[in-house]
């Protein structure tokens, strides 16, 4: 993946069990997202809890991250984006 041409690898974070997320959790997600982008790897959040989604929305990160209800939805979106 050194040439950046492969984007068929995924990083998926399952958030359904997360009932609380603070600034350090948000920072970790942003860092993972940035790392994935640098590696031309698709990054998606799947099954985000209502509590975590409220925090993501307040931080406007729902506009940055690819967020999906299911892995199937995330895969379909990734394939639609040209992967």
pLDDT at 4: 39
The CATH number of the domain holding residue 56 is 3.30.750.24
Q: How many domains does the chain have?
A: 1
Domain-embedded: residue 53: yes
Residues 3-57: tens digit of each pLDDT: 434 445 666 666 677 888 899 999 999 999 999 899 888 888 988 889 899 999 9
Tell whether 2 is covered by a domain: no
Specify the higher pLDDT residue, 82 or 61: 61
Asked if the model's pLDDT at residue 68 lies above 60, the reply is yes
What is the model's pLDDT at position 15? 64
Distances (CA, A) of 2 to 14, 15, 18: 27, 29, 33
Number of H helices and E strands in the chain, helices first, is 3, 3
Question: Distance between CA 69 and CA 24 in Å, rounded?
Answer: 24
Instruction: Give the predicted TM-score (pTM) of the model.
Output: 0.74
Quote the domain boundaries for residue 23: 10-80
């Amino acid at each position: 993946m050194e040439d950046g041409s492969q984007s068929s690898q995924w990083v998926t974070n399952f958030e359904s069990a997360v009932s609380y997320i603070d600034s350090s959790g948000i920072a970790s997600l942003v860092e993972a997202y940035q790392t994935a982008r640098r590696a031309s790897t698709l990054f998606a959040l799947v099954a985000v809890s209502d509590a975590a989604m409220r925090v993501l929305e307040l931080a406007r990160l729902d506009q940055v991250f690819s967020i999906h209800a299911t892995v199937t939805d995330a895969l379909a979106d990734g394939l639609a984006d040209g992967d």
